Amino acid sequence: MAADTHDEVQHNYHLVDPSPWPLLGALSALLMVAGLLAYMHPEAFGGNLFTDMGVWVIAPGTLGILFTMYVWWRDVIKEAMQGDHKPVVQLGIRYGMMLFIASEVMFFAAFFWAFFDASLFQAWPPEGIEPVDAWDLPLLLTLILLLSGTTVTWAHHAVTEQGKNPDVVAALGLTVILGIIFTILQVYEYSHLSYGFTDGIFASTFYMATGFHGFHVLVGTIFLYVCYLRAKRKHFKTDQHFGLEAAAWYWHFVDVVWLFLFVCVYWLSVS
C-alpha cells in the first residue's frame, strides 16, 4: 500500500525521462562550428582536404542538429499527447517561447541599427545602388504576410473558442501556402536586384535584414506545416494546443518585423 502511494504522482510538474538528445545536440553544434571554422579558415585545419570539401564541411554538424531537432520535438509532442504538460508545465513553456522571441527581437534590432547607423554618414542609398520600389513587389509581400496573419489567427480562434478542427486544418493550410508564396516571391526579388551582398554597406545590411527575415518565414512555414499535420490528426484541443499557439506567436512576430522592414528599409530610407 505504501509503495502504491509512493508511485503516484503527487505534483503537477513533468519530470523528463533520461534523453540522449541534449548530448547529441551539443556534439552536433560543436561539429557544425568546427566545420564553419574549417570552411572559413581551412589553413588552420590542414588546408587542402577542407578546401576541397567546400561548404560540405559543415554538412555533418548541420544534419546532426536537424536530426536532434526532429527527434527531440517528436518526444515533446508525445509528452503533450500523453497529458504530461499540465497547466504549470505549459506556463513554463510559454515563458520559454517568450524569451526566445525576445532574443530574436535583439537580432533584428542589431540589423536595423547597422542599417541606420550607416545611413547617417553617407548618401543613402549610395551612388550606384538602385533601390527597390517599395510600392511594387514589397507591397505585395506585405499584403501576403498580413493575410497570412489573419489566417493563422483564424486557426487559433477555431481551436480555442470553437473547437472546430476542420477550420483549423483549412486555416493552417492557407497560412502555409501563403508562406511558400512569400518565400518564392522574395527569391524572385533577390534574383532581379541590381546589386549583390558584397556591393557596399547598403547591400550588405539590406540582404542581412531581409534575408534573415526570409529565413524566419521559412522556419515559420515549416513550424505551421507541422501544426497542420498535427491538426489533421486531431492533436489540438481547446485546453491543449500550445504547439499551435507558439506557431501563431512566431508568425505574428515575423509579420511585425516585416512591417518594420517595409517602412524603414524599403520605403523611408530610400524616399
Q: What is the mean pLDDT of the chain?
A: 89
pLDDT digits (tens, 9 = 90+) for 117-135: 988 888 888 888 888 999 9
What is the rounded average pLDDT of the residues 32-60? Answer: 79
Determine which of 36-50, 155-169, 237-251 has the lowest per-residue pLDDT on average: 36-50
User: How does residue 38 score in pLDDT terms, banded at 50, 70 and 90?
Assistant: confident
| pLDDT(78) > 70 | yes
Cell of 202: 547598403
What is the rounded average pLDDT of the residues 24-40? Answer: 92
What is the rounded average pLDDT of the residues 208-232? Answer: 96
User: How does residue 136 score in pLDDT terms, banded at 50, 70 and 90?
Assistant: very high
What is the rounded average pLDDT of the residues 70-96? Answer: 88
pLDDT digits (tens, 9 = 90+) for 150-205: 999 999 999 887 667 899 999 999 999 999 999 999 999 999 998 999 888 999 99
Cell of 124: 543613402
What is the rounded average pLDDT of the residues 96-112? Answer: 95
Q: φ, ψ for residue 237 (rounded to 5)?
A: -125, 165
User: How does residue 6 score in pLDDT terms, banded at 50, 70 and 90?
Assistant: very low
| pLDDT(34) > 80 | yes
- Cis preceding linkage at 125, omega within 30: yes
| Distances 116 to 1, 65, 130, 132, 134 between C-alpha atoms, Å | 70, 34, 18, 17, 17
| pLDDT(47) > 80 | no
pLDDT of residue 239: 78
What is the rounded average pLDDT of the residues 97-122? Answer: 93
User: How does residue 248 score in pLDDT terms, banded at 50, 70 and 90?
Assistant: very high
What is the spatial distance between Cα 55 and Cα 34, in angstroms, rounded to a whole number?
Answer: 12
- Of residues 160 and 4, the one with the higher pLDDT is 160
Instruction: Read off the pTM.
Output: 0.87
Q: What SS3 class is residue 84?
A: coil
Distant-in-sequence, close-in-space partners of 202: CB < 8 Å, separation ≥ 6: 118, 119, 124, 125, 126, 129, 195
User: How does residue 82 score in pLDDT terms, banded at 50, 70 and 90?
Assistant: confident
Question: Domains in the chain, start-ordered, CATH in brackets?
Answer: 12-84 (1.10.287.70), 87-271 (1.20.120.80)
